[in-house]
Amino acid sequence: MNLLSRRCRNALDSLCIPALSARAGVALAAALSLGASSCASIVGEHEAETKFLVKPSTQAKFSGWSEVSVSQDPSSVDGAKLMFIRLEARDNNVPDLTFIKSITAEAVVDGAATKIAGKSPMPTGERIVPLDRAYHGDIRKFFYEDTENGGYTVHVDWRGELDLTKKIPEEGVWMKVIVAVSIE
């Protein structure tokens, strides 16, 4: 049975975020499929890693989306809260993230977007930057029943603005995103 379905679409050829890594996605699927009363070891803090590519362009805007699907109903756990989202340049030649002027992550359900995190401006000299959390409630509500995939899906839209005065390698910069969730 397929517990995790991953999809990503690149919009404007500037940002692409694969959903969760297979290992982290399976861990999230397992955590959501086993209620806290079923397995006490699922309760606690869990991290997942994603990535996206920021490519140089003449446009200052970038956008994209990512989705994660699980086969079990997220309401089978008592709760899930976002602890942090952290960005990091995967390329060691990038001194900091100031080539990104701003970034916003929004969870979208039935056309309604909820800002979950963002950052503007990026601090000078920092290669690892935590986003500012904008949403502090239970994230299970962002999973909707997805009959196409036979499970439950969370959809995240990413958008932002680039600083065109900063040099970005022609092949782009891969960004690593670490997401930490507390499962109750």
Which ranges constitute the DSSP H helices of the chain?
A: 22-33
Q: What is the C-alpha separation between 164 and 60, in angstroms, rounded?
A: 6
CATH of domain 4-183: 2.60.120
| Per-domain boundaries in the chain | 4-183
List 12's β-bridge partners, or say none.
none
Q: Give residue-wise pLDDT tens across range 86-123.
A: 999 988 888 999 999 999 999 999 999 999 999 999 99
What is the model's pTM? 0.73
Q: What is the C-alpha separation between 56 and 23, in angstroms, rounded?
A: 30
What pLDDT score was predicted for residue 7?
Answer: 38
CA angle 27, 28, 29 (to 5 degrees): 90
